[in-house]
């Protein structure tokens, strides 16, 4: 909608609006002077105000809650640019804390395992019609609390030149086999995680690949994927996410291991946090979020 206001001002009559319509997005302002035959003058002041009153968010921060033990969405700080917080869930009565709850079962033909369902909403964003309008998708796990008002703004800016953003994993020093060994020892997953890693090695994956890129961080090569941001308009990322989800369906739900492999396979290097502007640990707390 566009708003146009044209105001005339004279010495005798003051100001009045002689034309107006509705609104849309940038403001133009001008003044001109027209002589009158009575030696008076008339100032014609015009303002064309373009306000985007129907402006929709460019960024969606999303999560999923299908775990029966979780009854509440994490609170969040309102962002400085329009951002939709969307939680995909099967719980219409969940405590929302101002999240938009979407109970549509987009995953219905995929799995009944809530752990796989969470990965579907994390990785298959291009299949979910309500997410297609967003330029940027930021996935956070349902135990992540956003505490910084500039998260969306900063991520949107960084994604102009980087198709995907995540955090370095601080525990592994860029060695994926450390994630494998720790996960295996904790009996955290019910499938053969060592076989998954060995299959990747047999297909050419090697931690030396990332170390050979001479990244300044000693942690480059393994990412903490509880916070991952995507350029939602980049076809390479759509293919990357499909490939990532295929690994989940084929092996299991440790997406840290499959993430590094899929980055290698697709020749995609995520922009890694922390950086010069954002500091902190992804596994506990940082300038962006608290990991509960």
Q: Is 83 helix (H, G, I), strand (E, B) or coil?
A: strand
The alpha carbon dihedral of 155, 179, 144, 216 has a sign of: negative
The alpha carbon dihedral of 160, 163, 164, 165 has a sign of: negative
Smallest CA-to-CA distance from 74 within 150, 146, 151, 155 is with 146
In the predicted model, what is the mean pLDDT of residues 218-246? 93
Name residue 285's beta-bridge partners.
290
Q: Tens digit of pLDDT for each residue in 121-172?
A: 999 999 999 999 999 999 999 999 999 999 999 999 999 999 999 999 988 8
pTM above 0.85, yes or no: no
pLDDT band of residue 197 (cuts 50, 70, 90) is: very high
Strands across the sheet containing 27-35: 14-19, 3-10, 41-49, 27-35
In the predicted model, what is the mean pLDDT of residues 197-218? 84
10: tokens are: 């004279």
Alpha helix (H) ranges present in the chain? Answer: 114-123, 151-158, 176-185, 193-202, 208-211, 235-250, 255-266
148: tokens are: 């910084």
Percentage of the chain modeled with pLDDT above 90 = 69
The confidence score (pLDDT) of residue 268 equals 92
DSSP state of 172: S
In the predicted model, what is the mean pLDDT of residues 235-241? 95
Say if residue 233's pLDDT is above 80: yes
Domain 59-291 part of CATH 3.90.550: yes
Question: How far, in whole angstroms, is CA 125 from its chain's centroid?
Answer: 11
How far lies 259's CA from each of 69, 247, 289, in Å? 27, 9, 21
Name residue 88's beta-bridge partners.
64, 102
Q: Residue ranges per domain, the chain?
A: 3-49, 59-291
- Of 55-59, 84-88, 132-136, 228-232, the least confident: 55-59
Residue whose entry in the numeric block shows the structure tokens 């170390």: 211
219: tokens are: 């942690």
- Of 11-15, 64-68, 82-86, 178-182, the least confident: 11-15
The confidence score (pLDDT) of residue 214 equals 66
Mean pLDDT of the chain: 83
In the predicted model, what is the mean pLDDT of residues 82-101? 97
The confidence score (pLDDT) of residue 55 equals 54
Q: Tens digit of pLDDT for each residue in 23-60?
A: 333 333 444 444 443 444 444 444 333 334 345 688 99
Say if residue 181's pLDDT is above 60: yes
With the CA atoms of 163, 247, 90 and 101 taken in that order, what torsion angle do they form, in degrees rounded to the nearest 10? 0
DSSP state of 127: G
Task: Say if CB 282 and CB 229 are below 8 A apart.
Answer: no
4: tokens are: 């146009």
Task: Say if CB 205 and CB 264 are below 8 A apart.
Answer: yes
How far lies 247's CA from each of 200, 229, 265, in Å? 11, 19, 12
The confidence score (pLDDT) of residue 2 equals 37
Say if residue 21's pLDDT is above 50: no
Say if residue 224's pLDDT is above 80: yes
């Amino acid at each position: 909608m566009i708003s146009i206001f044209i105001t005339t001002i004279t010495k005798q009559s003051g100001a009045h609006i002689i034309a107006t319509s509705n609104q849309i997005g940038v403001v133009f302002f001008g003044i001109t002077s027209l002589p009158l035959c009575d030696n008076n003058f008339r100032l014609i002041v015009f303002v064309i105000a373009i306000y985007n009153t129907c402006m929709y968010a460019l960024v969606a921060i999303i999560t999923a809650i299908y775990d029966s033990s979780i009854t509440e969405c994490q609170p969040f700080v309102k962002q400085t640019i329009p951002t939709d917080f969307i939680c995909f869930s099967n719980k219409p009565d969940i405590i929302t804390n101002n999240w938009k709850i979407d109970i549509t079962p987009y995953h219905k033909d995929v799995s009944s395992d809530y752990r796989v369902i969470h990965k579907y909403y994390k990785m298959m964003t291009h299949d979910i019609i309500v997410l297609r309008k967003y330029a940027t998708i930021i996935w956070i796990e349902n135990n992540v609390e956003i505490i910084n008002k500039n998260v969306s703004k900063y991520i949107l800016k960084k994604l102009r030149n980087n198709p995907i953003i995540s955090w370095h994993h601080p525990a592994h020093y860029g060695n994926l086999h450390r994630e494998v060994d720790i996960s295996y020892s904790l009996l955290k997953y019910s499938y053969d995680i060592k076989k998954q890693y060995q299959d990747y090695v047999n297909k050419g994956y090697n931690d030396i690949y990332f170390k050979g890129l001479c990244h300044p961080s000693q942690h480059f090569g393994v990412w903490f994927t509880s916070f991952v941001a995507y350029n939602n308009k980049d076809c390479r990322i759509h293919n990357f996410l499909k490939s990532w989800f295929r690994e989940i369906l084929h092996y299991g739900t440790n997406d840290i291991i499959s993430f590094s492999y899929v980055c290698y396979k697709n020749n995609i290097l995520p922009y890694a946090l922390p950086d010069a502007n954002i500091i902190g640990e992804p596994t506990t707390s940082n300038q962006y979020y608290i990991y509960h």
